[in-house]
Amino acid sequence: TYAIEISDLKKRYESGFEALKGVNLTVEKGDFFALLGPNGAGKSTTIGILCSLVNKSSGKVAIFGEDIDKNFAKAKQYLGVVPQEFNFNVFETVFNVVVTQAGFYGIDKEIAAKRAEKYLKELDLWDKKDVQSRMLSGGMKRRLMIARALIHEPEVLILDEPTAGVDIELRRSMWEFIKGLNENGTTIILTTHYLEEAEQLCRNIAIINAGEIVENTSIKALLKTL
């Protein structure tokens, strides 16, 4: 089974706009996968549907074989999501932002506290643990979102434009961190509009434009054609 299998996925927003026109995609377990495309191509819509933040119009999505329409609770356990917008409670401390998330997954408090410590340390946020999250810089907030998404140790980590607005030095260290997760077996899916980012990190790539997949191949094969 694939980590992610998307078949003939369509999305028409209430405005009538057709954001996805029959997307087919598969991502293998352990892959480092990029969904590349210009602004407005449908990347966030695809990610939103994967984690059921956006309703699809038609098509099928399975996560490790679990159809999200039939068994979302199970499918959701596999996913950690780092959305583009900061969506944590800004008045909560950094530590609590991470452990509160654990509550959604029924994770024991002691385990949650240990994991929060581990990931906040790895993401260089431990010295901010008692600070209200609104006080963090943009790059720190981004890293906090990553720590939060990892609290249930998901099989698949999905990052929507993870390095948007992040300076080059931090971008590199985030890349290293994400690579490390992948080396330890986590399937990574990221969206980006920089080919360079996909090229530096990913193994396989799908290119989306105007709601359609126009290419789905390995990075190596893609670079040969350019």
Considering the complex, what minimum distance in angstroms separates the CB of residue 20 from ligand ADP? Answer: 8
Neighbour order of strands in the sheet with 4-12: 18-27, 4-12, 58-63, 66-67
Q: For residue 23, which of 11, 33, 32, 39 has the smallest C-alpha distance?
A: 11
Considering the complex, what minimum distance in angstroms separates the CB of residue 15 from ligand ADP? Answer: 4
User: Contacts by 105-110 with C-beta closer than 8 Å and gap 24+?
Assistant: 105/77, 105/151, 105/152, 107/151, 107/152
Closer CB to ligand ADP, 43 or 171, in the complex: 43
DSSP state of 187: E
Closer CB to ligand ADP, 42 or 139, in the complex: 42
Residue 183's H or E segment, with its range, is helix 168-183
Considering the complex, what minimum distance in angstroms separates the CB of residue 77 from ligand ADP? Answer: 8
Considering the complex, what minimum distance in angstroms separates the CB of residue 130 from ligand ADP? Answer: 22
Closer CB to ligand ADP, 23 or 201, in the complex: 23
Closer CB to ligand ADP, 76 or 127, in the complex: 76
* Residues at the site binding ligand ADP, with contacts judged by CB under 6 A: 13, 15, 17, 19, 37, 39-45, 51, 76, 79-81, 87, 104, 149
Would you state the structure tokens that stand for residue 183, as one six-digit string? 């080396």
DSSP H helices, 39-152, are: 43-50, 72-77, 94-104, 109-122, 138-149
Alpha carbons 42 and 168: distance in angstroms, whole number: 26
Considering the complex, what minimum distance in angstroms separates the CB of residue 224 from ligand ADP? Answer: 25
Closer CB to ligand ADP, 13 or 91, in the complex: 13
